[in-house]
A and B are shown apart, each in its own frame.
Chain A
Amino acid sequence: MPCSPVIELEQISKAFETTRALERVDLRVEPGQTTVLIGPSGCGKSTLLRVLVGLIEPDGGTATFEGSAITPRSVHALRRRMGYVIQEGGLFPHLTATENVVLMARELGWPEPKWRSRLGALAELTRLPTDALDRYPVELSGGQRQRVSLMRALMLDPDVLLMDEPLGALDSMIRFELQVELRAIFRRLGKTVLLVTHDLDEAGFFGDVIVLLRKGRIEQRGTLEELVHDPRNEFVRAFVNAQRSALAPLREKSR
């Protein structure tokens, strides 16, 4: 591929006390693509994301973001070019939706008209009702919270969205609705997205590329089709068979 990767991991390893969370992982994330990390719990998919945001320092290997190495020293500046969304949103409960979204922009000294117009555009993009903007997280529904969380992540117009099970805490109706909206937003913005999920359905729905991990190692990297039809080993086959919902083919067709 001619263009350089947005994120590149080389030989990243990380061990927690007794378990090895990541074992010499190599990964390239191409610009404009949605890459999904999937695998059983404890496979290291969230750890990988946390290494990128600098919440975890790897024991070995190098991680680069748009050509600069992610180190404890550099990560602070790099974070402003990444949007990080987690399950339940991680919204600050003492701030209203608006205050949550614009917190960082205001700290960076954006003038009010500028952040107000950005806020309005994001509310439109994520289809958050305007009256929800003045509410506190505790007063919002689960779906609204994730919309606010996405707005917060997008506020500074980052190059990459890092999403750790963003829909994991929602019930299935809202989850499906948000999946459709999220994918539309990703396509419209053309952002590079790295998304973690444990659900193969969701992985297939979002992912241009799916990366399947087990015990800190990448088992296979490819499209959903490749994983289903051309599993590289027994584990991939078993994971796919166990995970693939009976409804998925129907949904694929209905699109």
Chain B
Amino acid sequence: MNGITRHSLRALALVLFAQTALAQEPIVTVGSKKFTESVILGELLTQLAASTGAQVEHRSELGGTRILWSALKRGEIDAYPEYTGTISKEILTTGEAATIDEIRDALKARGMVVSEPLGFNNTYILGMKKDLADERGIRTISDLARHPDLRFGFSSEFMDREDGWPGLRRDYDLPQRDIRGMDHDLAYRGLAAGSIDVVDFYSTDAEIEYYGLRALEDDRAHFPRYDSVIVYRDDLEGRAPEVVAAFSALEHAITAADMTAMNAAAKIESVSEARIASEFLERHLGVQSNRRDVGAWERFWVNTAEHLFLVAVSLAGAILVSIPLGVIAARFSRVGQAILGTVGIIQTIPALALLVFMIPLLGIGAAPAIVALFLYSLLPIVRNTYAGLHDIPRPIVESAIALGLSPSRRLRLVELPLAARSILAGIKTSAVINVGTATLGALIGTGGYGQPILTGIRLDDLGLIMQGAVPAAGLALLCQAAFEIAERRFVSKGLRIKAS
């Protein structure tokens, strides 16, 4: 109990400090994408930077290229691992900068530095099960054109990227229609289960060996080179030259076999990325890093504190804004329709999209997530406040008027108490939705219960997924119970008892 309290207090303090930025800012912040290789590379950078004595934070599993790139531009992260092909096709989009020197010049103009290649090319590969490939006689990507019935399952980013499916379909005239976008890590499971036939994967993925896959030859050279590099802000050289120097130790230091082995250790042997990175640094570069594995309880309390922070702040804001909006909507019918319509439209924006829309405005982390959750929480409360007030029987409202109560007293003494149950139900709905939706925040670096879920999906680790899913469900139930109690407190007994 003592330990738990201490942990939770520490976790809370940690979150509060991180969020309010009262604490000393870490000098260097490293980011990584939400796939294992990127997390390992991010961990390598983090530990290298830490070995120079700098204060380093690793914001891992932040999402895809666009999120990382915009976080880098805004200075929310200082460095992250990237691939040349991705920079050329996704970030520069023109596709003109093809060689590493051209890429370097193009990014320099944008205030970014590109390191020397780290030593391996992690290109996209299309793959399928060996036996199916043999059965159909498929060896190259061109061969796929003769089998329009094959079902494709591509990672979500691959579906949209210029160097992904759109370009691939054009270059190879592929006729397939059954194309599904899914999480990269789930695609392997779909392939294993037989629900999809062809997936995109990365050439250094450990699963190729593990699942016995055939890599199809890119016979028309569609995919560019994806040399692994480090991208960092040019101001980092001024702020922390020793960190930049430490990063350079990774240049030409990782072979494709090294990377595949590290991926396999994480995904197949369930070794933590931090340990994989520290072992690599020690063995290959002779760097001693003081890596610290975070205990399960500590992680749980940190996640809980982060999650509660997101939910509490966004919900409190939503309550403060929604109830007055609901009152206005009930009082002025034309404005009311506009208010209800607007919050209704906000609700129809998919949660993930709303989170990502916020990034250019508010960056990554808690701020955009809180705003998104706040927006989501509006509709149930506004609508229930409106309905609760609107449904008060006419004679009761008229009695209050005839009694001589001023509009504000009427609202406070009669209307809001009568609408209390409906308003509380709205807040309860918002809270429960909020607890669930907040798990998505992990995609943009908010932490919370979504973090273990995200990592669990990536590592195919059901236990880890449960560490996020179970407390999230528990918290939702706890919210329900809290509101049952609140109802006793805020809803008059005269409204709770049934007529005899």
Contacts and interface: CB of A to CB of B under 8 A. Distances in A.
Nearest to B420: A94
Interface in A82-99: 82, 84, 86-96
A93 B418 contact: yes
Interface in B240-268: none
A90 B398 contact: yes
B500 A139 contact: yes
Nearest to A78: B404
A79 B494 contact: no
A54 B400 CA distance: 12
Given A92-B396, A92-B414, A104 B494 contact: no
B403 A95 contact: no
Contact of B417 (A84, A88, A94): A94
A87 B399 CA distance: 11
B405 interface: yes
Given A79-B404, A94-B418, A88 B495 contact: no
Interface centre among B402, B417, B497 (most CB of A within 10 A): B402
Contacts of A217: none
Interface of B: 395-396, 398-406, 409, 413-414, 417-418, 420, 491-495, 497-500
Nearest to B417: A94
Given A55-B402, A94-B492, 18 more contacts: A53-B401, A53-B402, A54-B401, A76-B406, A77-B404, A79-B402, A80-B404, A84-B399, A86-B398, A89-B399, A93-B494, A93-B495, A94-B414, A94-B418, A94-B420, A136-B493, A137-B494, A139-B500
A136 B403 contact: no
Give the interface residue-count category, chain A: 20 to 34
Given A90-B396, A90-B398, A92-B414, A152 B495 contact: no
B493 A93 contact: no
Contact of A55 (B401, B492, B495): B401
Contacts of B494: 93-96, 136-139
Nearest to A162: B402
Nearest to B397: A90
B404 A92 contact: no
A174 interface: no
Contacts of B399: 84, 86, 89-92
Interface string A36-75: 0000000000000010011100000000000000000000
B451 to A, nearest CB: 44
Most chain-B CB neighbours within 10 Å: which of A82, A88, A93, A96?
A: A93
B391 to A, nearest CB: 12
Contacts of A107: 405, 409, 413
27 contacts: A50-B398, A54-B401, A55-B398, A55-B401, A76-B404, A80-B404, A84-B402, A84-B403, A86-B398, A88-B395, A90-B396, A91-B399, A92-B399, A92-B414, A93-B494, A93-B495, A94-B418, A94-B420, A96-B494, A103-B405, A104-B405, A136-B493, A136-B497, A138-B494, A138-B498, A139-B494, A139-B497
A93 B396 contact: yes
Nearest to B395: A90
A104 B398 CA distance: 14
A181 B112 CA distance: 91
Contacts of A80: 404
B403 A152 contact: yes
Contacts of B414: 92, 94
A182 to B, nearest CB: 19
A50 to B, nearest CB: 8
